[in-house]
């Protein structure tokens, strides 16, 4: 089986790289499982102070793997997305996302769960669930608290594409820079974070993460049920199958 999440450590930073080009780094069961394993590995390594999440190719993450979602039984998958966000939010070390290219749907939940997100100005975002008869239920746990209320309403209800520059104004990303400056900006953030003491990083992150964690724990199960119900509806199934047919055509 081809590895979909690469793991590397250098200068106190563990880098997890999504590398699933066949489905544009979609959140398949295999990719999510390997991502968990990478987080577990980084947590257990005393030399690691920071986790950096990045992606190979021109798509950071295309969201849920619709080829799996269309098979049904989505509540377990939705709970997995809820738990993935919780794992990132509760992770005892800072998590940074390096974003270029496109990110959609569930991938935006990963960005919103991370502590710092550095994006290119021309990266593209979209909460496309509304166009498929769905709602961004599971990822709303982290996405909505990060964004301004007006920005969240516009993005979720229209499903329209917006850029990294706009995402910075909305509060979804920390900073948007030209692509030529992305690696330097990410390196500076990781270096600054790695200069902190392990205890200081752990306790400060826990302090900052408490509101998000409470939201996930209080509402995650119900939102996963909502997500599963919508995925199982006739309207959503027809929309997803039509979408997959257009991709193959």
Q: What is the pLDDT of residues 163-202, one digit of tens each?
A: 999 999 999 999 999 999 999 999 999 999 999 999 999 9
Nearest C-alpha neighbor of 213 from the set 86, 110, 44: 86
CA distance 53 to 190: 11
Q: Which residues pair with 61 in a beta bridge?
A: 103
CA distance 45 to 78: 29
Tell me the pTM: 0.93
Nearest C-alpha neighbor of 47 from the set 86, 90, 93: 93
* SS3 assignment for the chain: CCCCEEEEEECCEEEEEECCHHHCCCECHHHHHHHHHHHHHHHHCCCCCEEEEEECCCEEECCECHHHHCCCCHHHHHHHHHHHHHHHHHCCCCEEEEECCEEECHHHHHHHHCCEEEEECCCEEECHHHHHCCCCCCCHHHHHHHCCHHHHHHHHHHCCCEEHHHHHHHCCCCEEECHHHHHHHHHHHHHHHHCCCHHHHHHHHHHHHHHHHHHHHHHHHHHHHHHHHHHCCHHHHHHHHHHHHHHHC
Query: Which residues of the chain have a pLDDT value below 50?
Result: 72
pLDDT at 86: 97
pLDDT at 65: 79
CA distance 227 to 223: 6
pLDDT at 49: 98
CA distance 249 to 241: 12
Q: Which domains does the chain have, with CATH numbers?
A: 5-181 (3.90.226.10)
Q: Using an 8 Å Cβ cutoff, are 34 and 69 in contact?
A: no
Which residues, at least 6 apart from 216, have a Cβ–Cβ distance to it below 8 Å?
Answer: 82, 85, 86, 89, 141, 142
């Amino acid at each position: 089986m081809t590895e979909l999440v690469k793991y590397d450590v250098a200068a106190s930073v563990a880098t997890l790289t999504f590398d699933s080009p066949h489905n544009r780094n979609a959140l398949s069961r295999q990719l999510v499982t390997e991502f968990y394993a990478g987080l577990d590995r980084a947590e257990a390594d005393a030399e690691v102070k920071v986790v950096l999440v990045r992606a190979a190719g021109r798509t950071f993450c295309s969201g849920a793997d619709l080829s799996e979602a269309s098979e049904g039984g989505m509540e377990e998958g939705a709970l997995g997305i809820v738990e993935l966000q919780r794992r990132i939010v509760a992770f005892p070390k800072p998590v940074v996302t390096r974003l270029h290219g496109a990110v959609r749907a569930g991938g935006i939940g990963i960005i919103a769960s991370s502590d710092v997100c550095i994006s290119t100005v021309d990266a593209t975002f979209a909460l496309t669930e509304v166009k498929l008869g769905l709602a961004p239920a599971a990822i709303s746990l982290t996405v909505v608290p990060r964004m301004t209320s007006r920005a969240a309403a516009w993005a979720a209800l229209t499903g329209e594409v917006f850029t990294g520059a706009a995402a910075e104004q909305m509060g979804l990303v920390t900073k948007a820079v030209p692509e030529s400056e992305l690696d330097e900006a990410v390196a500076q953030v990781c270096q600054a974070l790695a200069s902190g003491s392990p205890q200081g990083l752990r306790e400060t992150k826990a302090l900052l993460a408490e509101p998000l964690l409470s939201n996930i724990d209080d509402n995650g199960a119900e939102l996963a049920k909502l997500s599963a119900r919508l995925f199982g509806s006739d309207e959503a199934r027809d929309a997803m199958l039509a979408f997959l047919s257009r991709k193959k055509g």
